[in-house]
């Protein structure tokens, strides 16, 4: 069993970068937070790929917020898709409470509430600045979430994007997406993709089209 001193030394050796850094928390040994075992990541490493995992309520969003706040404080702009509206609170100064005091004491850090500059983007531009991006740049995965498609419908959307990519056809806007969908579900287009990509059912295509139209009515694509 590793002693507390050995644990602290191991964490400090691995997570004490030189220069500016991002503080993530402290190591836990035998279910106890060890304040001396602080976990820091080098600021210059924050352009690398990373993954935050954990069960519901384990603090994934809070970790993301903490990273974004520190990057902002360091003068680094951060773009964060916020599907559920969890992150907009970064703009407003928080309030201290007993849980925060207890947590910061356990981590051995000083807490000072602060708000951060924030600009909200939206697809329609009705709530925040309108985001300008092509449908191709959004990609099938994100667009499926926006349209709230099920697994089968998402699969069809991926076929549309794959076909357009293979044929070097840019899908610039919603109108282009509807044209590709209509072409691949009727006549020559349907026959063309049947063997290479699979058949698209009329019912699935109609459902996707209705959801695209509903998105247009919200101002997207204008």
Q: pLDDT tens-digit profile of 19-44?
A: 999 999 999 999 999 999 999 999 99
Identify the band that residue 131 occupies on the pLDDT scale cut at 50, 70 and 90. confident
Residue 27 located in a structural domain? yes
Q: Pick from 93, 118, 143: which residue ends a domain?
A: 118
Q: State whether 109 and 177 are in the same domain.
A: no
Residue 38: predicted pLDDT: 94
Residue 124 located in a structural domain? no
Q: State whether 10 and 90 are in the same domain.
A: yes
Q: State whether 113 and 202 are in the same domain.
A: no
Q: Quote the number of domains for the chain.
A: 2
Residue 100 located in a structural domain? yes
Q: State whether 101 and 138 are in the same domain.
A: no
| Helix, strand, coil percent values for the chain (each to nearest 5) | 50, 10, 40
Surface-to-core class of residue 209, CB atoms within 10 Å of its CB (0-12 exposed, 13-18 middle, 19+ buried): middle
User: Of 65, 87, 91, 81, nearest to 121 (Cα)?
Assistant: 81
Residue 130, pLDDT > 80, answer: no
Alpha-carbon torsion, ordered 14, 17, 21, 26, to 10 deg: 30
Residue 102 located in a structural domain? yes
Mean pLDDT value across residues 130-141: 84
Q: State whether 51 and 73 are in the same domain.
A: yes
Residue 222 located in a structural domain? no
Could you give the angle at the alpha carbon of 42 between the alpha carbons of 37 and 48, nearest 5°? 120
Q: State whether 133 and 113 are in the same domain.
A: no
pTM, whole model, 2 decimals?
0.63
Q: State whether 10 and 109 are in the same domain.
A: yes
Q: Which two tokens stand for residue 141?
A: 């995965």
Mean pLDDT value across residues 115-119: 89
> Cα(150)–Cα(29) distance, rounded to whole angstroms?
42
User: Of 38, 37, 42, 40, nearest to 20 (Cα)?
Assistant: 42
Instruction: Give bridge partners of residue 25 from the DSSP assignment.
Output: 39
Contact 6, 29 (CB under 8 A): no
- Domain extent at residue 44: 4-118
User: Of 174, 205, 175, nearest to 189 (Cα)?
Assistant: 205
Q: State whether 8 and 92 are in the same domain.
A: yes
Identify the band that residue 221 occupies on the pLDDT scale cut at 50, 70 and 90. low
**In the chain, % of residues over pLDDT 70:** 96
Q: State whether 15 and 101 are in the same domain.
A: yes
Residue 75, pLDDT > 90, answer: yes
Q: State whether 139 and 88 are in the same domain.
A: no
Q: State whether 39 and 104 are in the same domain.
A: yes
Instruction: Give bridge partners of residue 23 from the DSSP assignment.
Output: 40
Instruction: Give bridge partners of residue 130 from the DSSP assignment.
Output: 122
Residue 123 located in a structural domain? no
């Amino acid at each position: 069993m590793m002693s507390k001193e050995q644990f602290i030394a191991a964490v400090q050796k691995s997570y004490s970068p030189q220069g500016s850094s991002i503080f993530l928390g402290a190591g836990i040994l035998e279910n106890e937070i060890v304040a001396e075992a602080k976990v820091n990541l080098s600021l210059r490493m924050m352009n690398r790929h990373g993954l935050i995992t954990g069960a519901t309520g384990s603090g994934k969003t809070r970790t993301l917020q903490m990273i974004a706040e520190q990057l902002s404080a360091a003068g680094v702009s951060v773009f964060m898709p916020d599907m559920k509206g969890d992150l907009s609170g970064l703009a407003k100064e928080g309030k201290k409470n007993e849980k925060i005091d207890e947590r910061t004491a356990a981590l051995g850090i000083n807490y000072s509430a602060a708000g951060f500059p924030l600009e909200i983007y939206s697809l329609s531009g009705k709530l925040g600045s309108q985001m300008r991006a092509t449908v191709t740049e959004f990609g099938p995965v994100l667009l499926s979430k926006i349209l709230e498609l099920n697994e089968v419908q998402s699969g069809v959307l991926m076929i549309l994007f794959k076909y357009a990519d293979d044929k070097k056809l840019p899908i610039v806007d919603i109108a282009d997406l509807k044209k590709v969908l209509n072409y691949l579900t009727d006549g020559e287009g349907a026959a063309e993709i049947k063997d290479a990509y699979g058949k698209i059912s009329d019912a699935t295509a109609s459902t996707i089209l209705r959801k695209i139209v509903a998105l247009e009515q919200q101002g997207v694509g204008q």
